[in-house]
Chains A and B, each alone.
Chain A
Amino acid sequence: MAEQREFMTAPDEFGRFGDFGGRFVPEALMPACLELEEAFQDAWADPDFLAEYEGVLSEFAGRPTPVTFLQRLSESLGLRIYAKREDLAHTGSHKINNVVGQTLLTARMGKSRVIAETGAGQHGVATATAAARMGLECTVFMGEVDTKRQELNVFRMELLGATVVPVTSGSRTLKDAVNEALREWVSCVDTTHYCLGSVMGPHPFPWMVREMQSIIGREAARQLRDLRVGVPDYVVACVGGGSNAAGIFAGFANTGARLIGVEAAGGAAISHGTPGVLHGMRSHIIQDEFGQIEEAHSISAGLDYPGIGPEHAYLSAIGRATYVSVGDEPIIGALRTLSELEGIIPALESAHAVAWLIREAGREIPHGSSVLLNLSGRGDKDVAQVLSILRGAS
């Protein structure tokens, strides 16, 4: 009898998904990673903790988020497209799911402070929000370049009581913010939890963050059943580090649905990267011929990361998920299309998934297919940038 293979289960004892993942961190941080792994396992098996986590998500963060049938876009593309509306979650994206879990865990571990990295500011704002709710001190590291590009998000975090530290090392963007958060963590690991924002970093982060985001996929699977759609032909999500994709894939990994991760061409770690070690994990990394990490470049700061979560590298390697990339050019058009046809302004990150649907409808994706699209965030944060791009183009 053929072995029934299960996908997206726990990693092995070293935190590996196949050849990817692991724990490549300075010894000073190893005890904290081990402590976190134990605390997470314990909490995740505790019905009281899970009830509290789900309670906060429903009463504070607006879950469950709906699934919306995108009728006009479906008609125009010849598909049946259902959107999982993470854009309607508190703070405007799926990031809240993870930070609610991690801040509850922080308190459970007896720590009084969280630190976080942020690129565009979505994860920073979410962390500042959850920290405020929990009465935790919060410091967010943000590349100096990004603090200027996303001034309003800096102010949002400050309104929420967080301290934003502009990072002036290296390329002054997201990857340097991660470096700086790791450096800070070394010096304060007794009192502080590093609230990492994606399915990346050393074990247990890739696994833990996927678990905390898997509520997206579980809800969507139930909602599609209720809508009598059942298992969709495709599940499509944008991928930077890969947390929203991991979250929605988790609900469909063991079904017949095709899982598609859409990377930004300028940060396409699967499409253009090679195996490497960065930020505590072995994964696909964009690097030069000498193993120096290259900077990612994307219209969307949230996809501006030269790596990808190790479980995605694994899902790609075994062929369970497919990763494609979309350049900057069609993104604004995709954002406008969804806005005009459906009354939903997507985040530039999520617009990558929309752009892939528009490009491949009737090509890679046969007409008539059912598609679950993870609308990971709303575009309010990007409106000023879109305006300046459109003005620049006219």
Chain B
Amino acid sequence: MKSLETHLRAQRAAGVKSLVPYFMAGLTPDWVQHVHAAVAGGASAVEIGLPFSDPMIDGVVIQEAGLRSLASGTTFDTTCSALGDQELAVPLVAMTYYNIFHHYGLRASARRLQDAGISGTIVPDLSVEEAEPWREACHDGDVSTVFLVAPSTPPERVIRIVAMSEGFVYASARMAVTGQAETVGDAPDVVARVRDACDLPVLAGIGIATPALAHEAAQSADGVIVGTALVRRILDGASPLDTERAVAEFRRALA
């Protein structure tokens, strides 16, 4: 079993809900400090966005963060170099679009991720139908490939997706791009459908904007992914300490 799954299963066994905040690599000069702050605030793992010029499943906040990051010269390599030096107590999961790895080379990407201490990837435009070359490239190392299940996914596809997903299954809470919402949407239903199909940890994400929503979503899910709500704050000038406090608030709501 790869380390991401081991870690998240251990959390579940200990009765701890997983909290996975998302940060855009290179968004601010001190972006790595935000990652550390999130860990200090109680993150179970941290999702690292690698910016892409054409983020088709991201809403305006993550789009803006990605463009700003690209404008300051962020690349896959600079991100891995910045993270490779860090001692972090939790797993890191890279979130990006397939062209970044496709262009860098699949095997080279998998090696680079592993060398930087990144133990999983979420690549939303990589369908299970197209994923075999990427899974093959990651097969021998410790980089897990996480797949999403959407509210629109029919039961037979859920079975196929969870069979390929490693680490956890990302339960998409709504038919929407990333952003902030006022309800947990379809999260309970999607989580239940994933649970029927497998025993992997299930994390809910997309639109989980507040600690209260995180609490509600975690009634069914093993944990939550919180992206836009934190990135919005950083775009507005939040310091690492602000991030730590915000993450800690989510952590308290999950207790």
Residues of A with Cβ closer than 8 Å to B?
Answer: 14, 22-32, 169-170, 175-176, 179, 182-183, 186-187, 189, 274-280, 282, 285, 287, 290-293
Q: B130 contacts which of A23, A28, A189 (Cβ < 8 Å)?
A: A23
Q: B59 — which chain A residues lie within 8 A by C-beta?
A: 183
Instruction: Confirm or deny: B70 has a beta carbon within 8 angstroms of a beta carbon on chain A.
Output: yes
Q: A30-B152, A287-B99 are known contacts; what are 17 more A-B pairs with Cβ within 8 Å?
A: A26-B56, A26-B148, A27-B124, A27-B153, A28-B175, A30-B129, A30-B153, A31-B150, A170-B67, A183-B177, A276-B99, A277-B99, A277-B102, A278-B54, A280-B125, A291-B76, A291-B104
Q: Closest CB-CB distance, A173 to chain B, in whole Å? A: 12
With A23-B130, A24-B98, A276-B102 as known contacts, state yes or no: A169 contacts B56, CB within 8 Å: no
Q: Closest CB-CB distance, A2 to chain B, in whole Å? A: 32
Q: Mark B64-85, 1 if CB is under 8 A from A, else 0.
A: 0001001000011000000000
Instruction: Confirm or deny: B161 has a beta carbon within 8 angstroms of a beta carbon on chain A.
Output: yes
With A27-B161, A186-B176, A293-B99 as known contacts, state yes or no: A179 contacts B54, CB within 8 Å: yes
Q: Mark B92-116, 1 if CB is under 8 A from A, else 0.
A: 0000011110111000000000000
Q: Closest CB-CB distance, B124 to chain A, in whole Å? A: 5
Contact assessment for A293 and B127 in the assembled complex, using a CB-CB cutoff below 8 Å: no
Q: How far is the CA of A7 from the CA of B250 in the complex (A)?
A: 57
Residues of B with Cβ closer than 8 Å to A?
Answer: 52-57, 59-60, 63, 67, 70, 75-76, 97-100, 102-104, 124-127, 129-130, 147-154, 157, 161, 172, 175-177
Q: B127 — which chain A residues lie within 8 A by C-beta?
A: 23-25, 27, 30
Contact assessment for B54 and A175 in the assembled complex, using a CB-CB cutoff below 8 Å: yes
**Chain A CB within 10 A, most for which of B98, B125, B150:** B125
Contact assessment for B98 and A28 in the assembled complex, using a CB-CB cutoff below 8 Å: no
Q: A179 — which chain B residues lie within 8 A by C-beta?
A: 54-56
**Chain B CB within 10 A, most for which of A179, A276, A280, A285:** A179
User: Is the contact region of chain A dominated by helix, strand, or loop, or is it mixed?
Assistant: mixed
Q: B103 — which chain A residues lie within 8 A by C-beta?
A: 274, 276, 287, 290-291
Contact assessment for A30 and B157 in the assembled complex, using a CB-CB cutoff below 8 Å: yes
Q: B147 — which chain A residues lie within 8 A by C-beta?
A: 27
Contact assessment for A27 and B102 in the assembled complex, using a CB-CB cutoff below 8 Å: no
Q: How far is the CA of A291 from the CA of B103 in the complex (A)?
A: 5
Q: A24 — which chain B residues lie within 8 A by C-beta?
A: 98, 125-127, 130
Contact assessment for B76 and A290 in the assembled complex, using a CB-CB cutoff below 8 Å: yes
Q: B56 contacts which of A23, A27, A31, A182 (Cβ < 8 Å)?
A: A182
Q: Closest CB-CB distance, B133 to chain A, in whole Å? A: 11
Q: List 7 A-B contacts (CB under 8 A).
A: A24-B126, A28-B152, A31-B152, A179-B54, A277-B102, A285-B99, A293-B99
Q: How far is the CA of A169 from the CA of B175 in the complex (A)?
A: 20
Q: Closest CB-CB distance, A198 to chain B, in whole Å? A: 16
Contact assessment for A291 and B99 in the assembled complex, using a CB-CB cutoff below 8 Å: yes
A-B CB proximity, top 9 nearest: A291-B103, A28-B150, A292-B53, A26-B57, A277-B99, A27-B150, A293-B53, A290-B75, A31-B152
- With both beta carbons as reference points, the residue of chain B lying nearest to A168 in the complex is identified as B60
- With both beta carbons as reference points, the residue of chain A lying nearest to B149 in the complex is identified as A27
Contact assessment for A31 and B99 in the assembled complex, using a CB-CB cutoff below 8 Å: no
Contact assessment for B129 and A26 in the assembled complex, using a CB-CB cutoff below 8 Å: no
